[in-house]
């Protein structure tokens, strides 16, 4: 694996991750861009105890461009994009329209492939392993950034989710605070430890799911994927390494080697779950990692790295919207049982 860092015309950082050591990454960004100067603001809602970010410059970000103007495709001839090279394996670069930046965090874009019409599910295991390497590399670097408290590497796929660029890609957010989702999880872990005299909630939940089996989608030597007992979304899968670790940096080599085939299997099941004639399933997939700052060492050690994958599609022609109860009160009501969702995902396993 070769890692090459270059600068774009406006001063943003771009990193190539290549499977070949002889990959040439000397191409320059020929666009006449002004130096990047994004600005963001963060305010705290005192009633909810949550932060809200403001990034007015994102109003002008690229929105559903035609394929021949995609900013994530390689630069070729006179068609110049965010990636100066004529081809690439995996690329990570600072977002031109970040939600958080400077002293208030960092946002990056991860391009999974140079193919405009592909998806993560189309990658080979070796290509998926390279993406995992990129996620891990960025996690390690974000951990050293004093402006970043927590990192979330995620992918939004599908127009139904709100994706504005069709090219297969994800993002990495470096939040300058601990997210509400993680704060609640850490509080639950601490309470469980107190109530049980030292047990870890993540370990107990994983052991219970594996013992019950009705919601397990797949289980391997190093990973377990299951639909959670109280799943919010029509099809929602949580993927855990069988050995608890706090973040991607601390995954052992065996789990790292097995991840690509497991994750690709899950994504392909999602694409088959509504039948062979349906378009690719829209989804959100993201890594939950322990915060680097803002929590105790004990709390960090008790956190469990895991990936959450879910879709808002609840039927071939139906979407699950966050309406009154979900959006207004954060109380989800689902019309499908987690056990039925898990059974369906087992049914559509790769033949």
Q: Which residues are catalytic?
A: 169
Q: CA–CA separation, 135 vs 260, rounded Å?
A: 13
Question: How many residues does this entry show for the chain?
Answer: 351
**Phi then psi dihedrals of residue 200, to 5 deg:** -100, 130
Residue 322: count of CB within 10 angstroms of its CB: 12
**DSSP state, residue 76:** B
Using a CB cutoff of 8 Å and minimum separation of 24, what contacts does 247-252 make? 247/139, 247/143, 247/151, 247/289, 247/290, 247/305, 248/132, 248/135, 248/136, 248/139, 248/153, 248/287, 248/289, 248/305, 249/136, 249/139, 249/140, 249/143, 250/305, 251/136, 251/305, 252/222
Supply 200's token pair: 């870890």
Place of tokens 């029509």: 234
């Amino acid at each position: 694996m070769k890692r090459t860092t270059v600068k774009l015309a406006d001063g943003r950082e771009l990193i190539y991750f290549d499977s070949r050591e002889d990959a040439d990454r000397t191409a320059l960004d020929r666009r006449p861009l002004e130096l990047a100067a994004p600005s963001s603001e963060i305010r705290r809602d005192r009633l909810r105890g949550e932060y809200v970010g403001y990034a007015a410059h994102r109003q002008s970000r690229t929105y559903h461009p035609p394929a021949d103007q995609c900013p994530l495709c390689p630069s070729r001839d006179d068609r110049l994009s965010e990636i100066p090279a004529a081809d690439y394996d995996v690329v990570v670069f600072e977002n031109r329209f970040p939600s958080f930046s400077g002293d208030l965090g960092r946002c990056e874009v991860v391009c999974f492939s140079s193919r405009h019409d592909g998806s993560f599910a189309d990658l080979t295991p070796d290509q998926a392993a390279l993406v995992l390497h990129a996620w891990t590399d960025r996690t390690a670097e974000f951990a050293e950034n004093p402006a970043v408290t927590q990192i979330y590497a995620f992918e939004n796929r599908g127009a139904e989710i709100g994706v504005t660029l069709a090219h297969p890609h994800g993002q990495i957010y470096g939040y300058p605070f601990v997210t509400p989702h993680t704060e609640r999880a850490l509080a639950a872990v601490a309470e469980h430890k107190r109530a049980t005299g030292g047990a870890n909630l993540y370990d107990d939940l994983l052991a219970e799911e594996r013992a019950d089996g009705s919601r397990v989608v797949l289980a391997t030597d190093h990973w377990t994927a299951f639909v959670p007992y109280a799943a919010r979304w029509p099809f929602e899968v949580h993927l855990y390494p069988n050995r608890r670790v706090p973040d991607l940096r601390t995954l052992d080599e065996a789990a790292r080697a097995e991840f690509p085939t497991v994750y690709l299997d899950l994504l392909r099941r999602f694409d088959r779950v509504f039948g062979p004639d349906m378009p690719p399933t829209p989804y959100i997939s993201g890594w939950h990692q322990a915060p680097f700052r803002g929590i105790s060492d004990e709390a960090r050690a008790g956190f469990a790295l895991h990936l959450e994958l879910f879709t808002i599609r609840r039927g071939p022609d139906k979407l699950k919207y966050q309406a009154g109860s979900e959006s207004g009160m954060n109380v989800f009501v689902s019309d499908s049982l987690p056990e039925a969702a898990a059974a369906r995902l087992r049914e559509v396993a790769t033949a």
